[in-house]
Amino acid sequence: MHAPRAVPRALHLLLLCLAGLGLALSAQAAAPPASVTYTRSFPRSVPVFLQIVVRRDGSALYAARQTARQPVLHFPFTASPPTVRAIFRAAAALDDFRGVRLQSKDNVAFTGDKTLAYADGSLRALQHFTYTTLPPARTLVNLFERISTTGMDALRLRLAARYQPLNVLEALDQIQSDWSLHLLAEPQLLAPVLRRLLADPTQMQAAQRRAQKLLVQMHQRY
C-alpha cells in the first residue's frame, strides 16, 4: 500500500487562492446593483406615502399609499437609460448623500418629510430633509416627483378598474391631461395597467379605446 502523495505547498496555496477568488466572484455576482431611493411622507397630500427605487441596471419600483387607510401598492418598471444616468449623476454630485447637508435653513411651507438614500454593497448612506436648495438634490426631487405623477396615475387607474369601473374614464382623462402637459416621467410605468385594461372584457369599449390611444402615443414618443 502506498501512502497518498502530499500536495505540494505551492499548489495547495494556489488552490486556496482560486477557491477564495471563486467565492469573491460569486458574492460579487450575487450583490444587487447600486440603487438610489427617494421616499416622501406627507399626511396632508395624495399620496400620503411614496417610495421610488431606481437601480443602476434600470430595474425600478414605485410604491405608494394613496390615503392612510389604503394599502401600499407596488409597480415594478424598468427606468429609461437617460433617467438612470440623471439620477446617479446627481447622486454622485452629492457624494452619494455622504457629503454636504441637504436640509435647507430657509423657512418655507412644509411639503413632506423626504429621504434620499444610496446603497451599493456595504456602502450605504441617506439623508432626511424637508426642503433643499442644492441643485443636484432639487434635480432628484423634481425627477422623482414626476415619476410619482406617473405612478399615481397608474395607481388610480388600477383601483378604478378593480373597484370602481365607472371611474375608469375619469382616471384615463387625468392620464391624458398629464401626458399632454408633459407631466409624466417614465410613462412605461403605466403600460402594464393600460394593457390589463385592454385585455379585460368587462371594461367599457370607450375606456379601452382611450387606453389603446395612450399606448400608441407613448410608443410613438418613446
Residue 53: strand pairing partners: 37, 61
Q: Tell me how far apart the alpha carbons of residues 153 and 156 are, in angstroms, rounded to a whole number.
A: 5
- Calculate the alpha carbon distances from 109 to 5, 49, 113, 190 in Å: 79, 18, 12, 31
Please, what is the average pLDDT of the chain?
A: 88
Strands 35-41 and 113-120: antiparallel
What is the distance between the terminal CA atoms of the chain, rounded to a whole angstrom? Answer: 75
Lookup: cell for 50: 411614496
Write out pLDDT tens, residues 190-209: 999 999 999 999 999 999 99
Question: Residue 86 contacts by C-beta under 8 Å, 6 or more apart in sequence?
Answer: 139, 143
Provide the sign of the torsion angle of the four alpha carbons 102, 103, 104, 109, taken in this order.
positive
Question: Residue 109 contacts by C-beta under 8 Å, 6 or more apart in sequence?
Answer: none
pLDDT of residue 18: 41
Write out pLDDT tens, residues 124-182: 999 999 999 999 999 999 999 999 999 999 999 999 999 999 999 999 999 999 999 99
Question: Residue 139 contacts by C-beta under 8 Å, 6 or more apart in sequence?
Answer: 86, 90
Q: Tell me how far apart the alpha carbons of residues 41 and 128 are, in angstroms, rounded to a whole number.
A: 11
Domains of the chain, residue spans: 35-221
User: Mean pLDDT across the stretch 64-88?
Assistant: 95
CA 13 to chain centroid = 45
- Calculate the alpha carbon distances from 166 to 99, 112, 181, 214 in Å: 50, 32, 25, 19
